[in-house]
């Protein structure tokens, strides 16, 4: 059965119309992966010397053990971004006399072929068979390395479970934030030191195989839990419909009072909620509200680089507007032709997007109000940057989004997904970032930074008052470019 499934997977790939493109991508990624493994192997051979000579640590084994849990935290995040769910079009097999359990076992075991599972061995095997073997013996070095490999395999299946059950949900985002916040707070406030726990735990691995056996039991438990979890979805009705939200009703009743404009906004909200990539952008925008904690807690920035806070304010209050707005027309690439055939007003089409971005930007500002804890100047900056985003930057984003937009597959995730990215996405960063400083710096250089912040807010407020003219300008550009945009989507 295994050879048959592998044969079918290869035939499906080789007979695909995009075979050459996918093969080129696979070869490039394989070469990149080999390069990374080569660098990891070189680092592994020099690890002992780096720790003892470079970092001046007398006991490289204890020092490295203290860092291992931090390494596995890093590996979890790396796997989260690089590791995909095991894929197999199972529907053609479900009516055949094949056990679903065998298909699930095939998928789970085949997923172990991921290159990330080699990294822990390539990186730490040289250290194990040199530094540890010379000190504790070859059996202890194997025990230590085996424990690392088993933990890495545990993370492999934990990431699969997370991406299948919690990824792309608000609960998944909250879980990640909570775990890493707890780890960061524990070190910062001294509740417990992860390095001390790590050092004590991995020191036990060279004293016998008891801990290795416990980790092996944990690995088997995670594997069979993953098996049962994936087996539950291995039914025709689950595969066909799954947890799709296509049939769910996400209508917001109050938008019906706005007529056709409300209908367009409602459709845009449905697009975000029902599709993976825009929904991920929404969740990440909420997470990005914590961006200010990196800068506002550091007195160095407030004393030596106060103007930097304008840059921070742009992203805290306008992160959704920027991330979602840069692909404003690419989101409709799959049905843009249909949109143009409808008896609609392009002004309402543009206004619906404008009011959606405006509403979320205002919500981001309200959620950022607690930053007033770091000083009322921070709140003033956020208020000024919100006005500037609503008056100036929103139209910069909307007009740059018309510049050669590219097709996007809404069902794909946002991680390492560069669909829709073009020159416009890079160039729009220049006016978005530098725009506020054109009005802030003249006052700041004269010694009036508060007046500069107020000037930025006043410019944004004036642009809001003249938004009707700016919307008209945007609509006229869309009227000129709509057929070019539609043709571009058909070529992708």
Q: What is the pLDDT of residues 164-173, one digit of tens each?
A: 777 656 666 6
Q: What is the pLDDT of residue 240?
A: 43
Where exactly are the structural domains of the chain? 2-8+17-241, 253-491
Average pLDDT over residues 352-356: 90
Chain-wide mean pLDDT for the chain? Answer: 80
User: What's the pLDDT at 15?
Assistant: 63
What confidence tens digit (pLDDT) does each residue in 306-347 have?
678 888 889 899 888 988 888 888 888 877 877 777 777 788
Task: Please check the confidence at residue 246 and state whether its pLDDT lies above 50.
Answer: no
Between CA 317 and CA 364 the distance in angstroms is 5
User: Is the model's pLDDT at 243 over the cut of 50?
Assistant: no
pLDDT on residue 42: 87
Question: Does the pLDDT of residue 492 top 60, yes or no?
Answer: no
> In this predicted model, which residue has the larger pLDDT, 415 or 412?
412
Q: What is the pLDDT of residues 23-76, one digit of tens each?
A: 666 676 678 778 878 888 888 888 888 888 888 888 888 889 888 888 888 888
Of 150 and 290, the structure prediction assigns the larger pLDDT to 150
Residue 381 in this model has a pLDDT that exceeds 60: yes
Q: Report pLDDT for 244.
A: 45
Residue 241 pLDDT > 50, yes or no?
no
User: What are 426-480's pLDDT values in tens digits?
Assistant: 888 888 888 999 999 898 888 888 999 999 999 999 999 999 999 999 999 988 8
Predicted pLDDT at 216: 93
The Cα 378–Cα 376 span in angstroms is 5
């Amino acid at each position: 059965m295994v050879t048959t499934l592998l044969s079918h997977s290869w035939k499906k790939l080789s007979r695909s119309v995009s075979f050459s493109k996918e093969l080129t991508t696979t070869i490039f990624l394989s070469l990149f992966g080999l390069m990374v493994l080569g660098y990891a192997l070189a680092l592994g051979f020099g690890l002992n010397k780096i720790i003892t000579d470079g970092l001046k640590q007398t006991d490289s084994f204890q020092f490295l053990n203290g860092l291992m849990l931090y390494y596995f935290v890093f590996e979890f995040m790396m796997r989260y971004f690089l590791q995909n769910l095991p894929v197999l079009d199972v529907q053609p097999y479900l009516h055949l006399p094949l056990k679903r359990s065998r298909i699930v076992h095939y998928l789970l075991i085949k997923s172990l072929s991921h290159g990330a599972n080699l990294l822990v061995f390539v990186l730490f095997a040289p250290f194990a068979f040199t530094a540890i073997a010379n000190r504790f013996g070859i059996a202890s070095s194997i025990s230590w390395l085996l424990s690392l490999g088993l933990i890495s395999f545990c993370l492999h299946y934990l990431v699969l479970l997370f991406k299948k059950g919690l990824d792309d949900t608000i609960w998944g985002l909250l879980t990640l934030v909570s775990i890493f916040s707890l780890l960061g707070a524990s070190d910062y406030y001294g509740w417990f030191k992860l390095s001390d726990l790590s050092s004590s735990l991995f020191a036990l691995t060279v004293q016998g195989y008891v801990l290795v056996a416990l980790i092996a039991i944990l690995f088997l438990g995670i594997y069979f839990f993953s098996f049962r979890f994936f087996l539950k979805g291995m039914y025709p009705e689950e595969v066909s419909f799954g947890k799709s939200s296509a049939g769910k009703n996400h209508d917001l009743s109050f938008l019906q009072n706005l007529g056709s404009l409300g209908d367009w906004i409602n459709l845009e909200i449905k697009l975000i909620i029902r599709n993976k990539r825009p929904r991920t952008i929404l969740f990440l925008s909420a997470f990005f509200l914590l961006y200010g904690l990196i800068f506002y807690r550091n007195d160095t920035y407030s004393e030596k680089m106060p103007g930097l806070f304008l840059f921070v304010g742009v992203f805290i209050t306008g992160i959704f507007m920027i991330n979602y707005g840069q692909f404003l027309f690419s989101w409709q690439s799959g049905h843009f032709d249909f949109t143009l055939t409808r008896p609609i007003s392009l002004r309402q089409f543009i206004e619906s997007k404008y009011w959606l971005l405006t509403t979320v930007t205002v919500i981001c500002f309200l959620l950022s109000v607690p930053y007033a804890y770091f000083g009322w100047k921070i709140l003033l900056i956020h208020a000024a940057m919100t006005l500037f985003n609503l008056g100036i930057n929103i139209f910069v984003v909307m007009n740059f989004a018309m510049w050669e937009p590219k097709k996007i597959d809404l069902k794909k995730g946002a991680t390492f997904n560069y669909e829709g990215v073009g020159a416009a996405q890079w160039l729009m960063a220049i006016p978005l970032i530098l725009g506020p400083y054109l009005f802030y710096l003249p006052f700041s250089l004269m010694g009036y930074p508060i007046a500069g912040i107020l000037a930025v807010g006043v410019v944004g407020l004036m642009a809001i008052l003249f938004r009707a003219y700016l919307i008209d300008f945007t609509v006229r550009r869309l009227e000129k470019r709509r057929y070019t945009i539609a043709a571009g989507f058909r070529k992708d």
